[in-house]
Chain A
Amino acid sequence: MQSHPLQALVSELHEPVHPTVVMSNHVHVYVSQAHKGELVMGAGVDSYNGYGQRGSFHVIERQMAAAIELFPVFARAHVLRTWGGIVDVTPDASPIIGRTPVENLYVNCGWGTGGFKATPAAGWTFAHTIATGEPHPLNAPFALERFTTGALIDEHGAAAVAH
């Protein structure tokens, strides 16, 4: 498990221009407009390990270039603020949900850059695992043992990045 900075940014307030969440894997853009009017954008993960709750500026720069590629009108928006959080990344960029070699100790971690959206399914399958002592069929492939058997979820980078 490696800890990496992941950054996000918001613009100043604007009239409604963007009525839905848009995600483009092709240019790596994830953007929505908050009800108050800010454009909210997720940037990429920094390549290096870090606990400083900030990342490198070129990641923000690249993110804005990608967003403007997709929506040229965003070129008029000014960035209000950026921030970085720490995300825990596994070798296959997929979470670990299941038992551990220690009896009665379970893990639900390694969610990396995509753990919000998965919360309902993660909670449901994790509860099933703890209640029955066996993984639910949905989280069975996400066990810690996959790093020993080699049955990884996906190669790092090929994993779904949709937020």
Chain B
Amino acid sequence: MLLITCPWCGPRNETEYHYGGQAHVPHPENPGELTDEQWAAYVFYRDNPKGPFAERWMHSIGCRRWFNVLRDTATHEVLTSYRLDEPRPGGNR
């Protein structure tokens, strides 16, 4: 069971949250001009690192807000959590 800290509600069990996959995936700037390949990259292609991973979680049975978590996918250690408008702690990889 992961213990995840919601930036608004504090530390809660994983069962209060919903997972949202990789964080910091930018929406295309000019969606109308994308090729099918570029859409595929945006919609389906994600990083899958072994180690620290910035990912989205939603406090679905709490405040229902989305936020980001930096978690080590090898050890399951939750390193930190931060708001969506904050940059990834320690920079982008």
Contacts and interface: CB of A to CB of B under 8 A. Distances in A.
A9 to B, nearest CB: 16
A59 B22 CA distance: 22
Interface size class of B (residues with CB under 8 A): 20 to 34
A58 B1 contact: yes
Contacts of A52: 73-76
A89 B83 CA distance: 28
A108 interface: no
A49 B1 contact: no
A49 B55 contact: yes
A47 B19 contact: yes
Main secondary structure on chain A at its contact with chain B?
loop
Nearest to A2: B48
Contact of B19 (A1, A48, A57, A149): A48
B53 interface: yes
Interface of A: 1-3, 47-52, 54, 56-58, 91, 147-150
